[in-house]
Amino acid sequence: MDNGDIAFVVLHLKINFILDYKIVDNVIYTPDIKQQPDARGIGWVYYESFLKHSDRIAQIDGLTGQEDTFGSLLERCVRTAIWLKTEGVQYGDIISVCTYNHLNSCVPHVSSMFIGAKIAALDPSMSLRDATYLFKMVMPKVIFVGEESVKLIEDVIQEVGSKTTIVVFGATKKHISFSELVKKSVDELNFKPTAARSINDIVAIMFSSGTTGLSKGICHTHFSILRPDTKTMYLAPTSAKMFSSDSPYWNIFLLILNHTIQSGVTQVVYPRFDPENPWAILNGKVTMAFLNISQLMMLCNTPKPDYIDTSALDMILTGGSPISEKQITKVRSQFPNALVRIIYGQTEVFESIFCLDWSNPKHLEIIEKKPNSCGLPKLGINYKIVDLETGKPLGANQKGELRVKTEMQLSGYYNMDSSGIWDEDGWLKTGDYGYYDEDCCFYISDRIKEMFKYQYWHIVPAVLESILMTHPAVSRAVVIGIPHEIDDNHPMAVVQLRKNANATELEIKKYLDDQVEDRQKLRGGVKFVKDFPITTSQKVNRWKLKQMILKNEI
């Protein structure tokens, strides 16, 4: 195609898909979403969805089997919203939550949206330093905490010197008990949500994973969250029972919450994923599970107990880091009756960024034939892959940085310079390295910040990690670049072995070196660790890990 020509690719003519898109100078454009968000804001949208689905099961406690309807959950959210207003929480104020997942974890989110406040969550596994850093960034008026987090938050408040009110999910003698908030009130009879003053006002502040530096507060508005309609979510059918264990801190918590409220889908809620007993989550109730690749590999590498019945599980979504075709094949062999889909997203965009629709037969063909593809262009999102050095848009099967332009993106960082988020043409720089093929199916290889150079070659850690993760003794593996005075960097593997498994450095090194090109070989060697430094979203803190290696602490 000559420069400046326009290629129109109509998918239903090519392979019977449903979405038209066009490519102009290697930039992929899709049609805009026709539906406009409700100007009253997210509080009203959620409130009316709760009423619509009031008799449906909203949540099931995965440990006890206790069921919670949308109607009963709405009652608790309304009563909490009324209490927040009596405490002086006003439109635009910030409230927070720090707890593991349970039937009331979502109440602060919904209640804040009902009164026009902002929500910003912390995680119980945070260190005092990290929790203090994020707390100071947002300074909430009220924070809802689990019993396990009370001491942490008390120490944070003392460190910061704030007057934040603590509400405890559980028993407390010192603070306010959540059970007191949700007692019946006459005010709830006339309750109505607060309408948004502007559809562009901030609703949620979600924090970046912090794998390569300090976390940033990513701001989403009524508009960015409500811009996609339920037809563009492509997560799960209404009949699904979705496994959920991510704490409110993680962006997937709000993504799933948004989908289940608007679509009337049931969540099966667990406090957390247990690496020592990974099969406990699949007890017959779950029909759809969102699991990261580390969790999936734990399931694949841990013998399934005889009492576990996975016959109800018909869909597995995975994301959070790149996954190889070999890993997908391993997951499929473990779960032969489940559809395995890769979901690619970023906290900066409030939706999955590509489309693979479980209800579209042609999309199912793509999932089968191209198992490690993240999907096709999606309504309301434009795409380009750019050269890392020049920023020039690249064509099919050429690797570079993915950049997107969409109305579902963040409005900026909270109280922080946001100028580096977009390029000079207003495209969001995802920081992810990948490509699209001749059918416009996208593939993500790695984070650019995690890549390094050996001589003049770009080394993509995820490619090497996916091979290492197939070794029967390996539980988790991370590849980093060790600085070298001549070659720039030498690849090093840092490996965590499975419980009761044994392997030598030479064995691991040979296993990888035999399967890769010369430039990808582990010239930096292999290190073994019992545990990795991790972020609150359970990702390896690569920056901290590399510093530990360079300081000979590992």
Distances (CA, A) of 75 to 40, 69, 111, 179: 21, 10, 10, 13
Residue 5: its pLDDT value, please? 35
Residue 543: its pLDDT value, please? 77
Query: For residues 261 and 437, what is the distance between their CA atoms, to the nearest angstrom?
Result: 35
In CATH terms, the fold of domain 6-31+344-448 is Luciferase; domain 3 (2.30.38)
Distances (CA, A) of 269 to 36, 398, 500, 509, 522: 32, 41, 30, 40, 41
b/e burial code for range 433-454 (CB count within 10 A of at least 16 → b)? bbbbeebbbbbbbbbbebbbeb
The string of pLDDT tens digits covering residues 323-363 is 778 888 889 999 998 989 888 888 999 988 998 887 788 88
Torsion sign over Cα 449, 248, 227, 18: positive
Per-state percent for the chain, helix, strand, coil, to nearest 5: 30, 25, 45
The string of pLDDT tens digits covering residues 94-148 is 999 999 999 999 999 999 999 999 999 999 988 898 899 999 999 999 999 999 9
Alpha helices in 164-307 (DSSP H): 178-181, 222-226, 251-263, 293-301
The string of pLDDT tens digits covering residues 473-518 is 999 999 999 988 778 889 999 999 998 899 999 999 999 999 988 8
Residue 232: its pLDDT value, please? 55
The string of pLDDT tens digits covering residues 140-199 is 999 999 999 999 999 999 999 999 999 999 999 999 999 999 999 889 999 999 999 999
The string of pLDDT tens digits covering residues 427-480 is 999 989 899 999 999 999 877 778 888 886 778 898 899 899 999 999 999 999
What is the phi/psi pair of residue 98, to 5°?
A: -140, 95
User: What residue segments make up the domains of the chain, in order of their start?
Assistant: 6-31+344-448, 42-48+68-225, 451-550
**Given the structure tokens 């290190």, which residue do they identify?**
527
Residue 393: its pLDDT value, please? 97
- Helix, strand, or coil (residue 402): strand
Residue 224 has pLDDT above 50, yes or no: yes
**Given the structure tokens 């929500």, which residue do they identify?**
119
Q: Do domains 6-31+344-448 and 42-48+68-225 have the same CATH topology?
A: no
Q: Which residues on neighbouring strands pair with residue 220, listed in sequence order?
A: 204
Helix (H) or strand (E) holding 202: strand 202-207
Beta-carbon contacts of 138 under 8 Å, excluding residues fewer than 6 positions away, are 94, 96, 118, 120, 205, 217, 414
Give the mean pLDDT of 537-551: 82
Residue 238: its pLDDT value, please? 74
CATH superfamily, domain 451-550, is ANL, C-terminal domain (3.30.300.30)
CATH superfamily, domain 42-48+68-225, is ANL, N-terminal domain (3.40.50.12780)
Give the mean pLDDT of 77-100: 97
For 66, other C-beta atoms within 10 Å of its C-beta total 11
The string of pLDDT tens digits covering residues 277-295 is 899 888 767 899 988 877 8
Distances (CA, A) of 361 to 17, 229, 230, 364, 365: 9, 21, 19, 5, 6
What is the identity of the amino acid at 390? Answer: T
SS3 readout for 480-525? EEEEECCCEEEEEEEEEECCCCCCCHHHHHHHHHCCCCHHHCCCCE
Identity of the highest mean pLDDT range in 212-221, 423-432, 531-540: 423-432
Helix (H) or strand (E) holding 474: strand 474-484
- Mean pLDDT in the chain? 89
Residue 191: its pLDDT value, please? 97
**Given the structure tokens 């499929």, which residue do they identify?**
332
Residue 536: its pLDDT value, please? 57
b/e burial code for range 200-224 (CB count within 10 A of at least 16 → b)? ebbbbbbbbbbbbeebbbbbbbbbb
Residue 211 has pLDDT above 60, yes or no: no
More confident call, 19 vs 427: 427
